[in-house]
Amino acid sequence: MDVWTYFEQKEKEFASLSLEPEEPPPGQRIFAEADGSDGKRGRILANLILAGSPVDADIAISEKIVVRGQRIHREEYAYFLVIDGEEVMGYERDLSHSPPVHAHTTEHVRTPAGRIAFKRFAALAWEEVSGRGPDQD
């Protein structure tokens, strides 16, 4: 396992979840291997559009990863659902924060939370946007 194998898996996962990466700004890449890491450290940084969502919604994703044996460890991650330009919910693992693993409310208030897989966060995001369609009041 190396970061490039993980990145390929994530590309397929995004597509299977109907998430389309926005084009990154010039000079930035969605997937990047850390210099000199020999494929053992990397980063994901992207905005993923919820394709077919009834509202303007995307997921901001950031992962700092390291390969340990044949497994990927997410040293840090941040997943935020943004609807119509407003952050609606998020989950983070950031050791510089207190608590290090936490959720965010619409007011960006930190609340303790367990770790979350990206696939689970994406499911929560789809649940949230499905309740906000034009027919929903």
Quick: pLDDT tens for 62-81. Answer: 999 999 999 999 999 999 99
* 69-100: b (≥16 Cβ within 10 Å) or e: eeebeeebbbbbbbbeeeebbbbbbbeeeeee
Average pLDDT in the chain:
92
pLDDT in tens, 20-44: 999 998 999 999 999 999 999 999 9
Residues in the chain, overall count: 137
The pLDDT of residue 37: 97
The pLDDT of residue 68: 95
Q: How far apart are CA 30 and CA 7, in angstroms?
A: 9
The pLDDT of residue 135: 57
Looking at per-residue pLDDT, the higher value among 105 and 58 belongs to 58
Contact 13, 88 (CB under 8 A): no
pLDDT classification of 137: cutoffs 50, 70, 90: very low
Lowest mean per-residue pLDDT among 43-47, 50-54, 108-112, 125-129: 108-112
The pLDDT of residue 42: 98
The pLDDT of residue 91: 95
